[in-house]
Amino acid sequence: MLRAAAAGALICVMSLASAADAAGDFDIGQLTQLLAQAKPGEATFTERRQVAMLDKPLESSGTLSFEPPDTFVRETLKPRRERLAVVGNTLTMSRDNRSRTLELDSSPEAAVVVEAIRGTLTGNRASLERHFSTAVSGSAEHWSLELTPLEARLREKVSSMKLSGEQSMVREVQVLMPDGDRSVMTIEPVGSAAR
């Protein structure tokens, strides 16, 4: 319980946008091929979480950056500053003047969300299919990818994740919790990724 709490405390949903000029079709092979052309990029995000027991939804916003193959940073600017960075297998969370580092593979609950986003952003079909059952719908213009954890143990934490986007750009990440809570993060590319 403790470990789960500690691990869980360090997780947050992260996502990133990227862009490339490729066209594709709408099965998982086509989609990951399209996504594999991801380039380093920056984006802003706004996130809205619905939690049954709270009086109102939680809203936050900040920036995201991604550098292939395995570095992600999510920096929350509002309502308060917080930084989450994943480099390879290491997850570092900083808030106020506290910082904590965690090995990602030692807490599968944390890893599941990271693998979903990392796998999608890098178009790593093998990695996605190792952890999730996948369902793709839509077209290259407007696709959506639904990921359901294969391990029953993990489905107790995350029922499913739904990523959707346009071309090689991820525009929205939804995470559904088994108790009905959900978070929706929408992504706006900036800088080079906005081309």
Cα–Cα separations (whole angstroms), residue 180 to 36, 110, 127, 160, 176: 32, 19, 27, 11, 7
Which tokens belong to 85? 């960075």
DSSP reduced 3-state for 83:
strand
Asked if 115 touches another protein (CB under 8 A), the answer is: no
* H runs (alpha helix) in 51-172: 108-121, 125-131, 152-155
Stretch 58-97 residues interacting with another protein (CB under 8 A): 58, 60, 79-80, 82, 95-96
18 within 8 A of 193, measured Cβ to Cβ: yes
Asked if 3 touches another protein (CB under 8 A), the answer is: yes
Q: How far is the CB of 154 from another protein (least distance, A)?
A: 8
When the beta carbons of 113 and 128 are compared against another protein, the nearer one is 113
Among 177, 186, 188, 190, binds another protein (CB under 8 A): 177
Asked if 46 touches another protein (CB under 8 A), the answer is: no
Cα–Cα separations (whole angstroms), residue 104 to 68, 112, 144: 17, 9, 26
Which residues contribute to the site for another protein (CB under 8 A)?
1-13, 49-51, 53-58, 60, 79-80, 82, 95-96, 100-103, 105-110, 112-113, 151, 153, 156-158, 175, 177-179, 181-183
